[in-house]
Amino acid sequence: MSQQVHVLLDPGTEHGSPGGQYSFRVLGPCCRLFDREELPWPCCRLAWRSKEPSWRRIGRRFVADLAARRCPSYVVELLQPGSRPTRTVITLFPQRLAPALQEWWYSKLSTSWDAANHQPPVPPPTPPPLQQQQQQPAGA
């Protein structure tokens, strides 16, 4: 069962990997994209110009990775004993972004391009824990 995420990991914090093989320091959140120009097949549609077909790319060059769209991705430094920290991108697939956080992270709306939208939405408040109330007998 996947864990739902409502907040980002803070930059500079260190965490262990899900399997416990290594630890990593979070540098910041990122959006995992792929470049359609680097795919081994034409990621375009065939357009006919006069008598010859030509491959023209229609749409954006960089698109969100569909597999990582619902999961948080971070730029991290891998911390392994005896070696230098290595920078890479980690996607935490066992975790799922909450709907509001996913909309901020991978939004298709033009309002998300606003410079004021550089922070995720405030997470919903957590409900207080249920307290067990002891009922006293009616005759006491």
The tens digit of pLDDT for each residue in 55-108 reads 566 677 787 888 888 999 999 999 988 888 899 999 999 999 988 888 888 777
Where do the structural domains in the chain lie, given as residue ranges?
3-39+58-113
What is the rounded average pLDDT for all residues in the chain? 78
pLDDT the model gives residue 74: 94
Q: What's the predicted TM-score (pTM) here?
A: 0.69
Q: How confident is the model at residue 126 (pLDDT cuts 50, 70, 90)?
A: low
More confident residue, 107 or 46: 107
The alpha-helical segments, DSSP class H, found in the chain are 99-105
Quote the radius of gyration of the chain (alpha carbons, Å).
Answer: 23
What is the DSSP secondary structure assignment for residue 61, as one 8-state letter? S
pLDDT at 4 over 80: yes
Contact present, 98 and 123 (Cβ < 8 Å): yes
Is residue 52 very low, low, confident or very high in pLDDT (cuts 50, 70, 90)? low
